[in-house]
Structure 1
């Protein structure tokens, strides 16, 4: 009921502001997988940026900032991105997902995925109130946020959060920018792996969260972008994921740049990183 009231307030704001913004609790009641009561700052949230009615096209993107699963680059890989998408008529939702911690979770490896599933469940269930097409809701993730986005896009068949309504948890598309994809030692970003899985994860956990191994023909169409000189996340993360998508005949675009290092989209004008993404969405029928 509380989230319904907040959503209604937000929806009313859209007609009067060029940029509607509201921070909603991701879970209206208890938070799954939590072993302690979280402080206000620790609680996962969904921050909504809705375009003005004249621009709205019904497409939505759920944004997962990076930060090696140790912190969130919430502004540069979250709110800045959301505002840019809203200006193009695309509703944007920034997820403040829980960072994996043994001190606050029963199993820290599933905490971020739970929040990602809850985020897409919330956005899709409230599509009418937000003037969205429930079949045009995708995700975008940066760095470790790209790992989370690709985990959501390859693990959607099993719900890790309560979902009695049986709402689809499958994104309709994925956009992955310099993403961590694999947990294999030859490819992974070590800091992200340790933060998510711990120092000595089981072989089963490593394989489960190596998303290049989890691709099927049902994996959503995917746009990937990376730099060859990325000194933090090996460019081969994007390459192996693209190859897995190709093997399973999933629509995919891979944009590689020779130079730019990690986080290169933060240093480019918005048009340079956004236009290729919009082109991909148009070709996939996600934008008119």
Structure 2
């Protein structure tokens, strides 16, 4: 795995001058603004789908490896063009990371024909605080950024002080946000019938981001008629990402694979 990742990260390209590198498994593209690495599946294996991953880190840092880069071989094997976005920290301004995500969607959509996927089949994936950002752009779509689907790992969903992750709330909204701002960025309160389908994966013993976040989002999605799936594993805590030491790692891979093939 480490050797493969070193090959992936060996290419550094700017947005203005994009090139690809080919090896036995994938084509890799590095983009400078926003900082993003795109891993393309081998020619002939493309499913037509693409996915932008947002690692977690409590809106203070990014867990780019096990919640980002380490997923690339799996998604490429599934025929998915997979991008890891190293988004900017909000520092109490939600628009900062959201603009990065919007820019990433524009790059992916503009490049879809060349990179082998459909521009209307670009999904969003997020872990922990990255899950909050993913659900936020999913419930606040723009003309440029309209995720086709969501994959959320143990996500922060709500900014409600009763169930939120305090560090993520502070990083995203600041110390004392208004009730209106809190509601606006609580994704369970922003779901509509046009919110994209979602898959959520988490552990019931997560003490960092309590499962109530995902459960409330799931309930809102179902009420709005949005296709939603949720898998809650009995143990594992928080932050397992792509780690084969996680007891249910293979279950996670199998469930994502089956879900991606379902639409």
TM-score (norm 1): 0.81
SS at match of 2:159: coil
After superposition, the C-alpha distances for 1:218-240 in whole angstroms (9 at most, x for unaligned) are: 00000011111101000010000
Tell me if structure 2 keeps the 8 A contact 1:83–1:92. Answer: no
Return the offset for 1:270.
5.2
1:22-171 equivalent positions in 2, closer than 5 A: 22-26=29-33, 44-101=34-91, 108-157=93-142, 166-167=143-144, 169-171=145-147
2:202 is matched with 226
SS at match of 1:188: coil
Larger fraction in strand: 2
SS at match of 2:130: helix
SS at match of 1:276: helix
Tell me if structure 2 keeps the 8 A contact 1:187–1:237. Answer: yes
SS at match of 1:118: helix
Q: Structure 1 regions of 5+ residues with no counterpart?
A: 27-43, 103-107, 158-165
1:282 is matched with 261
SS at match of 2:84: strand
After superposition, the C-alpha distances for 1:213-258 in whole angstroms (9 at most, x for unaligned) are: 0100000000011111101000010000000001100000011122
SS at match of 1:3: coil
1:273 is matched with 252
Comparing 79-88 and 218-227, the one that deviates more: 79-88
Aligned residues: 247
1:237 is matched with 213
1:18 aligns with 2:25: yes
1:187 aligns with 2:163: yes
After superposition, the C-alpha distances for 1:189-208 in whole angstroms (9 at most, x for unaligned) are: 00100111111111111111
After superposition, the C-alpha distances for 1:37-86 in whole angstroms (9 at most, x for unaligned) are: xxxxxxx4110101111322221111000000000000110000123211
CA distance in 1, matches of 2:259, 2:158: 24
Measured on the aligned residues, the alpha-carbon RMSD in Å equals 1.7
Comparing 234-243 and 256-265, the one that deviates more: 256-265
CA distance in 2, matches of 1:130, 1:270: 29
TM-score (norm 2): 0.89
Of residues 231, 235, 244 in structure 2, which corresponds to 1:255? 231
CA distance in 1, matches of 2:32, 2:178: 33
CA distance in 2, matches of 1:4, 1:131: 20
CA distance in 1, matches of 2:90, 2:17: 30
Tell me if structure 1 keeps the 8 A contact 2:26–2:40. Answer: yes
